Structure 1
Amino acid sequence: MESRNYSLISSYINIALYIFTVICTSACEIMPSIDKLPIHEALEIRAFICLTDASSNLCNGSSNSTESEVSLSPVTGLTATPSSIFVRLQWTNSTEPSVSGVKILRKLGAFPESANDASATEVYTGSNSEFLDSGLTSSTSYFYSVYSTNTAGAFSQASQVTTTTNASGGIDPSFNQGTGAIGGAILSAILQPDEKIVVGGDFTTYNGVSRSRVARILVDGALDTSFDPGTGTNSRASALDITSDGKIYIGDNFTLYNGVTRNGLARLLPNGDLDLTFDPLLGPDNRIRAAGLQSNGKLIIGGMFLNYNGTPVNRIARVNTDGSIDPTFMIGTGANALIRDIYVMPDDKIWISGDFNSFNGSAKPYINRLMPDGSNDPSFTPGGGPNSTVTSQCFLSDGSSIISGIFNTVSGTPRLNLAKLTPNGALDPSFDPGTGLGGSTFINCLELPDKTIFGVGTFTTYNGQTRNRVVKILPSGAIDPSFNPISGASGEVARVFFTSTGKLVITGSLTSYDGATVNRITRIFP
């Protein structure tokens, strides 16, 4: 009898186990992950399922994507801000203790199907709350999935966003300069750390508000009314540089700022007031064309002047923070002709370019590099150098530089108005612009994050192709065909800045861009 009862009970148990297994097998497709349960309960369920079905995913270490993508809290607030060449993703990370970071997948045409979608591109893994996805193609739609992750390799459900990169070369319609600068050109500009732009030139109003030759522009293109220069300058002003505490140097051929005598050089407070602690007295006896700050806060100035406050300086000088000349700047006889451009390097050495062919008695054809104290840098060896004037120079992340001017050879090698130099000043033959800038020049250029080079100036062609005063070129020197400005700028473009939004602000004498009225300033997609 006992044997029969035992057999009957055993049968009931087997039937119950079979029913539970069937129910669990279907329910596991929709039940929450057992990882969310207290550990003792999770272990009991895992042990039971393995006892009844050794082939279960929970026994062999694998899991389907649906289970792995619901066990963690997802990121929130995901946004995508496109440029023509990159997308900036921003989000708020989960505060769940077990979350260790995020994984981002990118795909064309559709969102990634799971965190392990082999057809998608993994673009980021880490713990930041922002990522810049660069090297993208303009006018293209991209689909992103962002997953919270933990150290065990589990993923949250995807937070998703899609965006389309902008057309390269087009105007950014969100930049609202209104009527822009009237009365003259914006010939110089400084990008502040907060991306406001201090501009100088010949203009007298900005978007209908009186601003005599000096103004500050907000990020969106509107006039910054918190910066008030009063009556401004009585002649052309050039924005030269900005100090670490936000003070602004301006220079050129003015003699007054807001009614106070300042001969060709002044320093402004961040609100536009004149800084009375800086007084150049007689100042330079002719125009300042370029300037740059050294790490000690002293200002290097260059241009057409021969004297500063009565002291012979021959076109270059170093000015103390109070406006007096620094007698320890050892330039000797200086430059024998105009200095057009100055760049102070991170190590305080000084690149200069212009019409000169000697510096302090040494042959220096149109370009030179000085030591921080103003003496010639013996490590600068440009060989024969360019055969005529260098009007501008810009520096690349590898220490090399792009020079432009009215030359047609560099060290005997044909280079029409444009060339690349190595860090020691020699011609870099790997950069070949072909027929170059068609008899005109860059006034300003910069390196973009994808290592292409954006140049602006007075040119209308590049290597035989129409490019009206704006052009993007590849690291090889060839034109970048992805950038199409259509009719481009109607007049000279003097300055260009790359902003954190991946857009370019250009200024100059242009009154239209690609047929749209812009009046000396606009923002475009690179």
Structure 2
Amino acid sequence: MLRTSRRATATKVGSVLIAGMLIASVASSASAIDVTQGVVDVPFSTNTGAGATDVYSGDPDLVMAVVVQTDGKILVGGIFTIFNGKPVGGLVRLNPDGTVDDAFSDRLDVGFEGGSVRTIAVQNDGSIVVGGVFDTVNGVPSLHLARLKPNGAVDVRFSQQLTSTGDNTGLVGGSVRGITIQASGKIVVGGRFNTVNGVDSNRLARFNSDGSPDTTFSSNLGTSPNNGLDGAVEVVTQDSSGNLLVGGQFDTASGSSSVDLARFSADGVVDSGFASAMGSGFSRLSIHFVSTVATQDSGKILVGGSFTGFDGHSTNNIVRLSSGGSYDSVFTTNVGSGFETTSDSAQVDSIIEMSDGSLLVGGDFDKTSGVVTGQVAHLSADAVLDTSFAANTFALTMPDSTVLNPSVYKLAAQPNGAVVVGGWFSSVGGVASSGVARLAAPDLTAPTSQTLTPTAQFQKSSSFGVSWVGTDPVVTGEVTSGVGQYEVRYRRSISGGALGAYVMWKPAIVTTSATFAGAPDTQYCFSSRAREATTGVTGDWSAEKCTTVPADDRALTRNAPTAWKRAASSGWIASTSSEAKLKGSYLITSSSRSVRTVGVVALRCSNCGSVDIYVGSSKVGSISLKKSGSASRALLTLPRLTSLKTGKVKVVVTSTNKVVKLDGLAISAR
């Protein structure tokens, strides 16, 4: 028989609906959602604490519905009455970090009485539509279907619209198992009921946004005894055209053969062509049913449940159909032996299509395509198993796994790619997690980088060090894998000139420093950016750090060759120097420069003289080279000029019969 504890819906990530919830537009961007890596989010599990538990035994209790709101909060529904020690009555809302939203629970108070929450959908205004097995919500009569305000308070008027006076009130005959919100705001529900306020609406019904039954929809389902579905509905979702895809355990839809899966128009008219394309539908030697349906961007339809065949083709618990309903053999070939378990009949309960087209599948299984995967598997868009994800599988456990098999009932993606998992389990990958856990998102938060050096405005050598550092931010729900590589680039110009185009210096360097071999009379500006270690997400370029290698003395024009003596000088720029003792001797640039800071690299000694520096015809300052003690080479600059000056730069000897030994001329427009 169909396991009554089962209820799962599929989610489409990067499209529009997650269990009937409109996802923020960012969710459709591949840069916003990517494939989770199969790593347990330990802080999330820590924050959920004791999780979903039975009020009497304290054992893990069943989570059957999970929906992520656009604000990142997480709605969790099921059979449980306690969550992390707090009475919650079948529904709890978690903050994005996994802690309980106490304000929501306080308003919901005793919650859903008389059963359990099986399905949840969120409307565009934040209102929360809840279906399941219950009689009242916080004391308000509301048979199997209710709506909460965004803050958790019961929408009493909605419940009043659902019901009429007399015996045939509300959804009669069974529970609600699936909900989807149409673009019009109307609410379509599926389940095990057969009438709505006394009107035939077998296992499928539609309500107006105020909660009143849509009798036209029920009429479109057909007339008794061929109204609606002849068996249980487990999932209701929509394709990109707004058609309704309905799965469960049934043989006919509006009187036409359509085994376990049917398609209806948005207004409830059965699609007989779709049913015809499905042929004999789903099969198994024993009980067979559909529990989850999802559509891919291509329009193809993914179907999961408990079955071993479709239209005469062998396929274990998952199949893909064309948009018209016909069998896709490529998908079945790639998935091979499909989803299996060693202890019981396997079942697929939830499917998510990620932004890159790949699939996450959850259910009651422990092998996928013959490989041990635990209860969550990652497939390519065409069903090829991702074995690297399988290696990270967070195997679920129960307190006594010889009696109870852990299962996943619901997968729900968050905008950053983290996936919330709901089901029946007590631990995930060795981490205590009762009924709900989270697969951490891949590290999609870009790391930051800071270029640390050079800090000096001028260098005393052509070669100098450059350094940088990166930080990978810790983000709730993400695997923080750190910085893996850096890129370092630079721009350059002649000293005092306009910077040119960027040049990539280090395209993929792991270390955070390197020695740069520059050229004299050149300004360099460096920037860096960091790349995340596992996903390769790259951050923005850092602010630049600029420095200038002074012009070599040999590149400067001498006023008279006899006035200057040039010599080899080890360790000096280009290993040369120019020396003069005659007052009035000068060295000058061959071209005009823009100057804000200027200086010389020269010898300082007790018998050293002095120089004046000119930009064009303007003297901008004087520098004394005299110092006591041992002689040494030094960089000496004038105070920064009050305004930018332009012209050839000239160094003039102002001392008589004193040593003026120059190595270079430092010029910067900064």
Structure-2-length-normalised TM-score: 0.38
Higher relative contact order (CA 8 A, sep 6+): 2
Structure-1-length-normalised TM-score: 0.48
Higher Rg:
2
The structure with the largest strand share of the pair is 2
